[in-house]
A and B are shown apart, each in its own frame.
Chain A
Amino acid sequence: EAQVTQNPRYLITVTGKKLTVTCSQNMNHEYMSWYRQDPGLGLRQIYYSMNVEVTDKGDVPEGYKVSRKEKRNFPLILESPSPNQTSLYFCAVAGRAYNEQFFGPGTRLTVL
């Protein structure tokens, strides 16, 4: 079964405390992306990766880092979280044709 897993699903943290949200896929797909969803703003892409060691900024990359050291994993790193990064985060995976994305279940992050 095709799966995209994210951990943790829920996280409450404080300003400045580094955190990592993990994303893993079992589909052997090239493309992986991180999105955030905020009320009235829809889905906005944070970073994406076209393959191992290839990453690029999306539309809202400020305050985030990513890495793609292996094909199946694409962690999202917040070095110094701030309250404006409180959001619902989704990891997404797509094949080479990029005609469909598979989304993870989401991570609800609250930064106090």
Chain B
Amino acid sequence: DQQVKQNSPSLSVQEGRISILNCDYTNSMFDYFLWYKKYPAEGPTFLISISSIKDKNEDGRFTVFLNKSAKHLSLHIVPSQPGDSAVYFCAARRFDAGNNRKLIWGLGTSLAVNP
């Protein structure tokens, strides 16, 4: 049961344009959402996050939007740069049965930004 879904395995965008990466979730108990970026042969690195009580968070070229009613979040990268080419993971935080925090991960979207 995939609670966090990234339905697009890959995305290709022209340099300078907007990249939009999408993430859907099924569990209304998630209270925090994160985006990570991963280059080949490296560990994932934190990119941006949003609390469930907000609908938007912005950090430079990166903006995350949260639509709680639709259980949908998206990451916008504007303008896209070739260095943004990486795999992007969406993750959602909740408490497990033992009241411990846990991150649930999507499968990732591979973004290619073409010069």
Pairwise interchain contact B107-A99, C-beta atoms closer than 8 A = no
Pairwise interchain contact B107-A41, C-beta atoms closer than 8 A = yes
A-B contact count (CB 8 A): 47
B73 at the interface (CB under 8 A from A): no
B21 at the interface (CB under 8 A from A): no
Size bin of chain A's contact surface: 20 to 34
Pairwise interchain contact B93-A99, C-beta atoms closer than 8 A = yes
Q: B88-115: which have CB < 8 Å to A? A: 89, 93, 98, 100-103, 105-108
List of B residues within 8 angstroms of A102 by Cβ? 46
List of B residues within 8 angstroms of A100 by Cβ? 34, 46, 49
B65 at the interface (CB under 8 A from A): no
List of B residues within 8 angstroms of A94 by Cβ? 101
List of B residues within 8 angstroms of A45 by Cβ? 102-103
Pairwise interchain contact B93-A98, C-beta atoms closer than 8 A = yes
Pairwise interchain contact B43-A90, C-beta atoms closer than 8 A = yes
Q: B27-82: which have CB < 8 Å to A? A: 32, 34, 41-46, 49
Which residue among B34, B43, B98 has the maximum number of chain A CB atoms within 10 Å of its CB?
A: B43
List of B residues within 8 angstroms of A4 by Cβ? 43
List of A residues within 8 angstroms of B108 by Cβ? 42
Contact of A43 among B32, B89, B98, B100 (CB under 8 A): B89
Q: Can you show 26 pairs from A to B with CB atoms below 8 A apart? A: A31-B101, A41-B107, A42-B89, A42-B105, A42-B106, A42-B108, A44-B105, A45-B102, A45-B103, A90-B44, A94-B101, A98-B93, A98-B101, A99-B32, A99-B34, A100-B34, A100-B46, A101-B44, A101-B46, A103-B43, A103-B44, A103-B45, A105-B41, A105-B42, A106-B42, A106-B43
Other A-B pairs beyond A40-B107, A98-B93, A105-B43, 8, CB < 8 Å:
A41-B107, A43-B44, A43-B105, A94-B101, A99-B49, A100-B49, A101-B44, A103-B45
